[in-house]
């Protein structure tokens, strides 16, 4: 194992070294061009390390007359080494896989589902539900999308004009399974302001396909031998409901008039349940992702 790790690290160093030689030749060829005074837009070579120097892309920097660098910014995300994508995805999935299954399934309660359904201009049907719910289907969630959203140089210098880059990856975490939410609702019902049912119990639930959590992972990449990377930011964490389907409401135990109106509202109640459930799950996933902060990305395992 140690020998294999050493070989992988050496291979990364060779990839960087070959890119440097290619970079120096390219810089020498460009040095014969015209000299422009004042602010200069100079193309500084960065590496796309997949073992092929022809895959090198370019970065841009602004240099003043006195030679100081006031801004260094990657021209595009195409400069991200290919194995960095695999390494960041692998580290995130390893953490999710070790944490999320322990929280699936979950049982919890939601209270105060209040709804007024207008029947006429002077009469409405009132609903006040408390629910006990069972949720399952998210334990196998993993990174389904990982795309570079931005790139910049955070420390100038080195052989390429940039010693450290920061790459932001737009990440989506989703489950391959249906998220299933079901349970019991106990509620009070009123008609035209008059109570017509108290503590009536019924079943309720919903399923959603491809719900997910989106986040931006910031990775600091050091152009060294071998290259190094660590996760330095977890930003803009948000959730989405996916595609809602298979709403389940069991209001048939209520009087026909009330039950039929509530069945017509089943989809809206189901949407509300899934939305509130998302608010319950999102902090959990966010807390797990925040454990990635400061994590060193073992790139030699993915090169």
**Higher-confidence position of 101 and 125:** 101
pLDDT(287) > 60: yes
Say if CB 302 and CB 92 are below 8 A apart: no
Express as a percent the part of the chain with pLDDT over 70. 71
For 131, the token pair is 């629910």
Check which CATH number belongs to the domain holding 222 and give it.
3.15.10
| pLDDT tens readout for residues 70-100 | 443 444 688 788 889 999 999 999 999 999 9
Say if CB 267 and CB 216 are below 8 A apart: no
pLDDT(120) > 50: yes
Range of the domain at 288: 76-301
List of residues 6+ apart from 215 with CB closer than 8 A: 171, 173, 234, 235, 236, 237, 238, 286, 289
Express as a percent the part of the chain with pLDDT over 90. 26
Choose among 4, 76, 19, 81: nearest CA to 50.
Answer: 81
The band of 251, judged by pLDDT with boundaries at 50, 70 and 90, is confident
CA distance 107 to 48: 47
Q: Look over the chain and give the mean of its residue pLDDT values, rounded to a whole number.
A: 74
Tell me the mean pLDDT in the region 252-268: 70
List alpha helices for the chain, DSSP H: 2-30, 82-99, 256-264, 266-289
CA distance 284 to 170: 19
For 212, the token pair is 């997910």
| Confidence (pLDDT) at 112 | 81
List of residues 6+ apart from 172 with CB closer than 8 A: 143, 144, 145, 212, 213, 214
Structure-token match 């602004």, residue found: 62
Range from 82-86, 122-126, 186-190 that averages highest in pLDDT: 82-86
Task: Say how many Å lie between the first and final Cα of the chain, rounded.
Answer: 15
Q: Is residue 33 part of a domain?
A: no
Q: Is residue 13 part of a domain?
A: no
Instruction: Give the least confident one: 29-33, 76-80, 168-172.
Output: 29-33
Beta-bridged to residue 214, according to DSSP, are 172, 238
Choose among 98, 102, 254: nearest CA to 185.
Answer: 254
pTM for the complete prediction?
Answer: 0.69
For 106, the token pair is 């979950």
Looking at the 3D structure of the chain, how many domains does it have? 1
| Confidence (pLDDT) at 167 | 94
Sheet containing strand 40-46, strands side by side: 40-46, 57-63, 69-74
Phi, psi of 134 (to 5 degrees): -120, 130
SS (H, E, C) 150-194: EEEEEEECCCCCEEEEEEEEEEEEECCCCEEEEEEEEEEEEECCE
pLDDT(36) > 90: no
The band of 252, judged by pLDDT with boundaries at 50, 70 and 90, is low
């Amino acid at each position: 194992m140690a020998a294999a790790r050493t070989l992988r690290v050496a291979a990364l160093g060779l990839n960087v070294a070959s890119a440097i030689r290619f970079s120096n030749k390219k810089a020498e060829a460009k040095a014969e061009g015209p000299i422009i005074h004042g602010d200069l837009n100079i193309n500084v070579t960065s590496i796309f390390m997949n073992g092929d120097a022809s895959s090198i892309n370019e970065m841009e920097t602004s240099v003043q007359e006195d030679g100081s660098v006031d801004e260094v910014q990657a021209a595009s995300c195409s400069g991200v080494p290919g194995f960095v994508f695999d390494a960041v995805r692998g580290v995130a999935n390893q953490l999710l896989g070790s944490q999320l299954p322990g929280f699936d399934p979950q049982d919890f309660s939601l209270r105060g589902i209040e709804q007024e359904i207008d029947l006429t201009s002077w009469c409405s049907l009132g609903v006040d539900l408390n629910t006990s719910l069972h949720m399952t289907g998210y334990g196998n969630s993993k990174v389904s999308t990982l795309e570079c959203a931005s790139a910049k140089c955070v420390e100038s210098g080195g052989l390429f004009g940039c010693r450290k880059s920061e790459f932001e990856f737009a990440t989506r975490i989703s489950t391959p399974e249906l998220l299933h939410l079901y349970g019991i609702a106990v509620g009070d019902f009123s008609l035209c302001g008059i109570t017509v049912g108290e503590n009536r119990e019924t079943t309720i639930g919903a399923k959603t396909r491809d719900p997910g959590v989106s986040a931006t992972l910031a990775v600091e990449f050091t152009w060294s031998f071998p290259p190094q990377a660590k996760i330095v930011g977890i930003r803009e964490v948000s959730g989405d409901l996916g595609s809602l389907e298979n709403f389940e409401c069991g209001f048939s135990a209520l009087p026909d008039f009330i039950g039929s109106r509530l069945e017509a509202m089943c989809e809206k109640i189901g949407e509300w349940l899934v939305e509130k459930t998302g608010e319950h799950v999102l902090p959990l996933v966010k807390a797990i992702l925040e454990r990635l902060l400061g994590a060193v990305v073992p790139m030699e395992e993915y090169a």
